[in-house]
Homo-oligomer: A and B are copies of this chain.
Amino acid sequence: MKKITMNEMPFPAVTRLCTIYELLSRLEQQGTVAISSGELGTRLGVAAHNIRKDVSRLGIAGNIGSGYEVKKLKGLIAGKFGFGEEKKACVVGLGHLGSAIIQRSIFADGEFRIVAGFDSNINKLETIKTNIDLFPAYQITDVVGRKGIQLAIITVPSSNAQEVADRLVDGGIGGIVNFAPVVVKSKKNNVFVKNMDIAGELRILSALVKTAKSFSA
């Protein structure tokens, strides 16, 4: 008996719908009322049928002949993905990068709020100026559970990243963004991890530059 985690939607579709959501938020603020799949596609660099296909997974959303109502489509995506209420996040590792992230404590217009910071160096906790609550790293599991923190950003050295991830998972975290240049895995299989390795991305980019073939056809 194997434990399996599946997604009711393909990963690429989830990603694109999130991008669409972000664009819709901006359009809404600008007062745009309706938009077609073609226009959405142009703005996002995605084919129009791709947009329609993705949107169709949400159930009926558009008006044949006149496109999508911005508010309605945004609401449908929010409903499916549980957007709307502010999500709590935390940062583990308060070096330069972690401090930089904590600085801007509200992300994406109130969608996410950083409510806790952790570091293993207790002296450091006292020197950082912020109105976010800071805790020693050994309290990660406890604080994440108690505060109901759903998302975490890891900016600790590679050597500690996996251990930190395990503690977060024990606390009941839902997703982790990992900046340590090491692939972090989750013990539980319904916890999602996004590894963001800057050096790794630079490496991939330079590999692509090297192997890219440009030609006229």
A45-B183, A189-B214, A217-B2 known; A18+B204 contact, CB < 8 A: yes
Contact of A87 among B153, B202, B216 (CB under 8 A): B202
Q: Smallest Cβ distance from A34 to chain B, in angstroms?
A: 22
- The interface residues of chain B lying within 8 Å CB-to-CB of A206 are 81-83, 87, 150-151, 174-175
Interface positions of A from 112 to 155, Cβ below 8 Å from B: 112, 150-151, 153
Interface positions of A from 148 to 195, Cβ below 8 Å from B: 150-151, 153, 174-177, 181, 183, 185, 189-192, 194
Instruction: Say yes or no: B100 contacts A14, CB within 8 Å.
Output: no
Q: Smallest Cβ distance from A86 to chain B, in angstroms?
A: 11
Instruction: Say yes or no: B201 contacts A194, CB within 8 Å.
Output: yes
Which range holds the interface residue count of chain A? 35 or more
What 0/1 readout, one digit per residue, does chain A (100-119) give for beta carbons within 8 Å of chain B? 11011001100110000000
The copy count of this chain in the complex is 2
Interface positions of A from 1 to 27, Cβ below 8 Å from B: 1-9, 11, 14-15, 17-19, 21-22
Q: Is A198 engaged at the interface, CB distance under 8 Å to the other chain?
A: yes
Instruction: Say yes or no: A175 contacts B7, CB within 8 Å.
Output: no
- The interface residues of chain B lying within 8 Å CB-to-CB of A17 are 207
Instruction: Say yes or no: B175 contacts A22, CB within 8 Å.
Output: no
- The interface residues of chain B lying within 8 Å CB-to-CB of A44 are 183
A-B contact pairs, 13 of them (CB 8 A): A14-B204, A14-B211, A18-B200, A18-B204, A19-B183, A80-B207, A81-B211, A82-B210, A87-B202, A107-B199, A108-B200, A174-B209, A192-B209
